[in-house]
Structure 1
Amino acid sequence: MNTSLDVLENEIPGPFDAPQWPHLAPRSTYMSVAVLMGTVVLLASFVNGLVIVVSIRYKKLRSPLNYILLNLALADMLVTIFGSTISFSNNINGYFVFGKAVCEFEGFMVSLTGIVGLWSLAILAFERYIVVCKPMGDFRFQQRHAVIGCAFTWVWSLIWTTPPLFGWCSYVPEGLRTSCGPNWYTGGTNNNTYIMALFVTCFVMPLSMILFSYASLLVTLRAVAAQQKESETTQRAEREVTRMVIAMVMAFLICWLPYASFAVVVATNKDIVLHPTLASMPSYFSKTATVYNPIIYVFMNKQFRNCLLTMMCCGQNPFATEEETSATTSSGRTDVTMVSDGGGNKVTPA
């Protein structure tokens, strides 16, 4: 495959030796990416840090659902520490200042924790499907199931992110050469087979689970709403859940579809030409998921939000209604909106 990076390869210093500007892109491009990464580091550290602190402080939040949310926050925090922070420093300097060993470590850690985050979203969606749609009858999703689900995300991710450390593909500087990831740039059967395997097992599979689970959830909720046409609460809940599901799916696609698509297109088309800046953008853009994942999946969670406001306001939530206060102090599962289907079941998006 020929890329702009390949053409310039013999004309620019190595990615670990000296600034890559103006050979690959203007210095302003590197500074712009540094600003983006700096913003992501600050916001992601703050919001995910809040999720972790609140989850540890309030025992009432230790429900099966919240174990998965905490796993997601931990994964996002690690992406921020080992990915966004290093990328921020590298873009300020214009090259990968920490050397080849750290490059490989960064590529591995970001891939590992990023895939943990992706599969956490899939497990979260599947948990909602089991609880709401009841495909297994009276089966109850309990703490041990959540722990198994969280363990699965790490084991599965390890299975698919360790091969580049042992020769099946590799972790190399990406695009602007200020971050590292799987080598989907240089082609070859070794790299291409790994990229395609990674695409199927760590993007297509979790995305399929998310789409199936939330589609089933919406169908169930619409059926409930149809039975309770005169209930404004039910109709409002349907609209709220629909908006939330759309936000969840769109956020997933916006973050990860460009990165996955670029990797597959380049891996299957050896003659494509990509500018280094364009080749880098999907990787940096995917890191922004660490900011709005907790906003969509956690802060829109009524019980968690009440605990957060209570903590920040020194023990009292000044914005809580009587219903929300009751929900916060209860030991039940975390819900954004609950609607009875008339048979004792409750429909809830997250």
Structure 2
Amino acid sequence: MPDLCFDAYSGLTNDVTLYGGKSAFTQLEHNIVAGYLITAGVISLFSNIVVLLMFWKFKELRTATNFIIINLAFTDIGVAGIGYPMSAASDIHGSWKFGYAGCQIYAALNIFFGMASIGLLTVVAIDRYLTICRPDIGQKMTMQSYNLLILAAWLNAVFWSSMPVVGWASYAPDPTGATCTINWRQNDVSFISYTMAVIAVNFVLPLSAMFYCYYNVSATVKRYKASNCLDSANIDWSDQMDVTKMSIVMIIMFLVAWSPYSIVCLWASFGDPKTIPAPMAIIAPLFAKSSTFYNPCIYVIANKKFRRAIIGMVRCQTRQRITINSQVPMTTSQQPLTQ
């Protein structure tokens, strides 16, 4: 879930006014949050830029599947490069300092990049399912097919992030006064319908699709192993298991990062926002923001091709052989885009 629920604790005080009013938190707490955002932003920008440099330097990494990862890196860079600095500057200032227009832009972009990230993770799961469970379909996938799936993820993000701008719910500063998100102070039918729609379309549905895909991937791999026919399948299993393992870890970390935030969302929607503990109201969304910098770590830890690419960059090698030789034909998702 993107930054929908920062305002879950809007009932903390009646002194919070829009755009520069008194914050519900102390300046020390603002400074701590600013320090976290600055640190997380630097780490996220650096690590995701390194990921993009790897794709630029090593053409063996430029496959259809990894093209989805490139798009994920851009969503993380978007949040770290735009959202983090504005929020950190406001925390140092003690309240939102970019006015109404800045609030609308900030909130819309954060929700846009967050929802695009969820959509792209769903596309990764679909790719794993087609490649491993339905190779008859996976081998027919073209780059145009992948581009359409990726475009759908971005267009879905555009739709949901623009709705509060045109009147379905609205954007406003949160109780910290230093971040903008959905306006919980107007807990009306418009807000509730928008929130429930976002939870259904951009959380429950994607997670259901991911679970279905990875459950079937796991069952298919077990079936092949039990029948000792991995080598006869038209799949480069060494490479595909690496990519699948990386994808599953990304989904698990997504759940770990966003589950506390989702609990705050549901609590505020169906309960009394005033009863949400202050630490939970501020820590849950900050914890969720960690999703912008853990993905690059997962790429390197869970995928040996990424590890080899990192080593090649550290050693300043002009070229490093990354491709795993295989005697079986490659699916579209495995083939370099330059071929």
> TM-score with structure 1 length normalisation?
0.80
Percent of pairs identical after alignment? 25
Could you say which residue in structure 2 is the equivalent of 1:17?
20
State the distance in 1 between where 2:135 and 2:274 align. 45
State the distance in 1 between where 2:167 and 2:313 align. 48
Task: Supply the AA of the counterpart residue of 1:16.
Answer: Y
Task: Supply the AA of the counterpart residue of 1:46.
Answer: F
Equivalent residues of 1:68, 1:120 under 8 A apart: yes
State the distance in 1 between where 2:8 and 2:46 align. 38
For structure 1, list consecutive stretches of 5 or more residues without a partner in the other structure: 339-350
Task: Supply the AA of the counterpart residue of 1:327.
Answer: I
Pair 260,143 (structure 1): closer, same or farther in 2 beyond 3 Å? same
Task: Supply the AA of the counterpart residue of 2:250.
Answer: M
Equivalent residues of 1:19, 1:93 under 8 A apart: no
1:311-326 superposed matches below 5 A? 311-315=313-317, 325-326=322-323
- Which structure ranks higher in relative contact order (CA pairs < 8 Å, sequence separation ≥ 6)? 2
Q: How much does 1:301 deviate?
A: 2.6
Listed one character per residue, the Cα deviations across residues 314-343 of structure 1 (whole Å, up to 9, x for unaligned) are 2168xx8xxx745399996799xx9xxxxx
Q: How much does 1:303 deviate?
A: 2.3
1:176-325 superposed matches below 5 A? 176-184=176-184, 186-228=186-228, 247-270=249-272, 272-297=274-299, 300-315=302-317, 325=322
Question: Secondary structure of the equivalent of 2:116?
Answer: helix
Listed one character per residue, the Cα deviations across residues 124-182 of structure 1 (whole Å, up to 9, x for unaligned) are 01101100011755643332122111111111111111110011101111231211112
Stretch moving more, 154-163 or 90-99: 90-99
Pair 299,100 (structure 1): closer, same or farther in 2 beyond 3 Å? farther
Pair 69,3 (structure 1): closer, same or farther in 2 beyond 3 Å? closer
Could you say which residue in structure 2 is the equivalent of 1:116?
116
Task: Supply the AA of the counterpart residue of 1:293.
Answer: N
Could you say which residue in structure 1 is the equivalent of 2:324?
327
Could you say which residue in structure 2 is the equivalent of 1:169?
169
Task: Supply the AA of the counterpart residue of 1:215.
Answer: Y
Could you say which residue in structure 2 is the equivalent of 1:348?
none
Could you say which residue in structure 2 is the equivalent of 1:6?
11
Equivalent residues of 1:187, 1:270 under 8 A apart: no
Pair 240,3 (structure 1): closer, same or farther in 2 beyond 3 Å? closer
State the distance in 2 between where 1:120 and 1:298 align. 19
State the distance in 2 between where 1:150 and 1:334 align. 15
> TM-score with structure 2 length normalisation?
0.82
For structure 2, list consecutive stretches of 5 or more residues without a partner in the other structure: 1-6, 232-237, 335-339
Q: How much does 1:228 deviate?
A: 3.9
